[in-house]
């Protein structure tokens, strides 16, 4: 049987500001994850780093170490790649006051 | 007295460990146990045109379902009935939030369809309390329309939910609904429309539909519950509903009925949904689904 792979949309047209994060996703079956963050509208203000976070329970989150700058313009896409994440995955970013980005966050998971 | 072919079918089905816990009709449409992936259960995305901002808020909140081992902070992975995995549908952490997973088919013949599933539900275990009223409801819906030559031009959407709690009251009853919201044009082309059939208004109690399900004694213990919903695509009527040891009279049940859409002929969609009653995520877990028909 072919190995499972799937695309999960965890944030669609969400306006991220302040302490923002995608909804938790369980992906313990997957050996690798590629995460795309696309700016659907022109970002406002200084754009922070987006970081991968992992969790023991889906409620308490720890930075995994992988991070990348948020997209700088409308249509811009940034990519995060992770291989060792246990079960829970999310993307988080801390925006300074007045800055924001409307995002599409997609997780591409492969067994 | 059943004939030899039917006796043979039943014997083979009951000897098959994957099928034995179901009572399928003669033809299997799908058997999903989620140890082989998502099995076609995907996110219900709302309609839009030109701009995602045109999507109705009820749909904009949806996210993708996931494969889960029901991993809990205190007890580890619970697992499914026959494998480590179940399908998980999760709401956002805001009272009234909903999420829906859908499987989209079309039908070959208008006749009886049976939807069976083993499911359970729990809120996110972020409090050391029983939390038995934190999940508002879990339920299923079909989205159906006849063939393009059939003449009875209706789109029919049976909805059935277990209203576990509302505004903190533990109600534990089955409900159905016959109303949606008015259709709204989403763009300038007059081709894309949307309505919000899971709006909180319009739910009605199923007669004698109170049922106390097994809700284990802390938020991280779950028990699987059996559900079987029968619907006849010919008459577009519900013909039966069972949950565990209870069988419900569906004579008073009806569906949302709206004029046929110009592009949804023979549609046979199955959807599962969950709603939260508290500012915490609610989870609907599906161990397995068996969809069968008589055709």
Distance, CA of B134 to CA of B96 (rounded, Å) = 10
As beta bridge partners, residue A39 has A103
Contact A26 B68 (CB under 8 A): yes
In 3D space, the residue among B46, B66, B258, B241 whose CA is nearest the CA of residue B139 turns out to be: B241
In this predicted structure, what is the pLDDT of residue A28? 97
**A45's torsion region: left (phi>0), alpha (psi -120 to 50) or beta?**
left
Distance, CA of B189 to CA of B186 (rounded, Å) = 9
For A52-72, write each residue's pLDDT tens digit: 999 999 999 999 999 999 999
- pTM here is 0.96
Cβ A85 vs Cβ A33: under 8 Å = yes
In this predicted structure, what is the pLDDT of residue B43? 95
In 3D space, the residue among B59, B61, B118, B113 whose CA is nearest the CA of residue B236 turns out to be: B113
Evaluate if residue A21 carries a pLDDT over 80. Answer: yes
* Distance (Å) from the alpha carbon of B52 to chain A's nearest alpha carbon: 7
A59 vs B: CB within 8 A: yes
Cβ B201 vs Cβ B179: under 8 Å = yes
* Distance (Å) from the alpha carbon of A48 to chain B's nearest alpha carbon: 24
CATH architecture entry for B24-293: Sandwich (2.60)
Distance, CA of B187 to CA of B177 (rounded, Å) = 28
Contact B63 A27 (CB under 8 A): no
Query: B116 by DSSP, 3-state: which?
Result: strand
* Distance (Å) from the alpha carbon of B49 to chain A's nearest alpha carbon: 14
**Strand ranges for B146-266 from DSSP E:** 154-157, 159-166, 169-177, 184-185, 193-194, 203-210, 225-232, 237-243, 246-248, 256-259
Q: What percent of chain B has pLDDT over 90?
A: 84
In this predicted structure, what is the pLDDT of residue B1? 61
- In a mutational test of the A interface, the residue from B37, B77, B127 whose CB has the highest number of chain A CBs within 10 Å is B37
Distance, CA of A63 to CA of B183 (rounded, Å) = 44
A103 vs B: CB within 8 A: no
Q: How confident is the model at residue B190 (pLDDT cuts 50, 70, 90)?
A: confident
Chain A residues near residue B52 by CB distance under 8 angstroms: 12-13, 40
Q: How confident is the model at residue B192 (pLDDT cuts 50, 70, 90)?
A: confident
Q: How confident is the model at residue B195 (pLDDT cuts 50, 70, 90)?
A: confident
For B26-61, write each residue's pLDDT tens digit: 999 999 999 999 999 999 998 898 889 889 889 999
Alpha-carbon separation of residue B59 from A10, B54, B97, B98, B255 (angstroms): 13, 11, 10, 9, 20
Distance, CA of B198 to CA of B54 (rounded, Å) = 18
Q: Give mean pLDDT, residues B91-109.
A: 97
Q: Which of A9, A29, A57 sits opposite B67 (nearest CB)?
A: A29
Q: How confident is the model at residue B88 (pLDDT cuts 50, 70, 90)?
A: very high
Q: How confident is the model at residue B79 (pLDDT cuts 50, 70, 90)?
A: very high
Distance, CA of A107 to CA of A29 (rounded, Å) = 14
Evaluate if residue B2 carries a pLDDT over 80. Answer: no
A28 vs B: CB within 8 A: yes
For B141-159, write each residue's pLDDT tens digit: 999 999 999 987 899 999 9
Low-confidence winner among A81-85, B50-54, B80-84 (lowest mean pLDDT): B50-54
In 3D space, the residue among B95, B255, B230, B109 whose CA is nearest the CA of residue B175 turns out to be: B255
In 3D space, the residue among B294, B277, B285, B271 whose CA is nearest the CA of residue B104 turns out to be: B271
In this predicted structure, what is the pLDDT of residue A40? 97
Q: Does domain A5-110 have CATH number 2.60.120.1380?
A: yes
Distance, CA of B238 to CA of B219 (rounded, Å) = 33
Cβ B31 vs Cβ B37: under 8 Å = no
In this predicted structure, what is the pLDDT of residue B180? 81
Which residues 76-95 of chain B have a CB within 8 Å of chain A?
85, 88, 90, 92
In this predicted structure, what is the pLDDT of residue B183? 81
Widest distance between CA atoms in chain A: 50
- ipTM of this complex: 0.96
């Amino acid at each position: 049987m072919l190995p499972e792979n799937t695309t999960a949309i965890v944030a669609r047209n969400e306006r991220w500001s302040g302490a923002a994060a995608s909804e938790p996703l369980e992906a313990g079956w997957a050996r690798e994850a590629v995460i795309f963050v696309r700016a659907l509208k022109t970002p406002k203000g200084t754009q922070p780093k987006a970081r991968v976070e992992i969790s023991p329970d889906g409620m308490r989150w720890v930075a995994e170490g992988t991070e990348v700058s948020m997209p700088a313009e409308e249509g811009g896409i940034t990519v995060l790649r992770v291989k060792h994440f246990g079960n829970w995955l999310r993307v988080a970013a801390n925006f300074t006051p007045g800055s924001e980005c409307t995002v599409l966050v997609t997780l591409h998971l492969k067994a | 007295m059943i004939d030899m072919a039917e006796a043979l079918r039943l014997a083979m089905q009951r000897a098959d460990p994957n099928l034995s816990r179901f009572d399928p009709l003669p033809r299997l449409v799908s058997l999903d146990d989620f140890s082989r992936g998502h099995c076609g259960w995907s996110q219900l995305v709302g309609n839009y045109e030109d701009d995602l901002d045109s999507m109705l808020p009820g749909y904009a909140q949806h996210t993708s379902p996931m494969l889960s081992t029901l991993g809990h902070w205190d007890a580890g992975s619970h697992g499914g009935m026959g494998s480590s995995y179940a399908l998980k549908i999760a709401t956002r952490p805001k009272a009234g939030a909903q999420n829906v997973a859908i499987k989209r088919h079309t039908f070959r013949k208008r006749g009886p369809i049976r939807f069976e599933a083993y499911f359970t539900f729990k809120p996110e275990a972020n409090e050391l309390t029983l939390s038995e009223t934190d999940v508002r409801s879990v339920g299923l819906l079909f989205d159906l329309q006849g063939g393009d030559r059939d003449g009875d031009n209706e789109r029919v959407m049976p909805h059935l939910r277990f209203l576990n709690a509302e505004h903190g009251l533990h109600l534990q009853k089955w409900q159905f609904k016959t109303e949606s919201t008015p259709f709204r044009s989403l763009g300038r082309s007059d081709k894309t429309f949307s309505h919000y059939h899971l709006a909180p208004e319009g739910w009605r109690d199923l007669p004698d539909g109170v049922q106390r399900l097994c809700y284990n004694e802390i938020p991280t213990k779950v028990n699987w519950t059996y559900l079987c919903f029968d619907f006849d695509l010919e008459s577009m009527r519900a013909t039966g509903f069972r949950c565990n040891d209870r069988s419900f009279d569906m004579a008073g049940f009806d569906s949302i009925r709206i004029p046929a859409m110009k592009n949804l002929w023979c549609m046979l969609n199955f959807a599962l949904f969950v709603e939260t009653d508290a500012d915490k995520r609610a989870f609907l877990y599906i161990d397995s689904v068996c969809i069968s028909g008589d055709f």
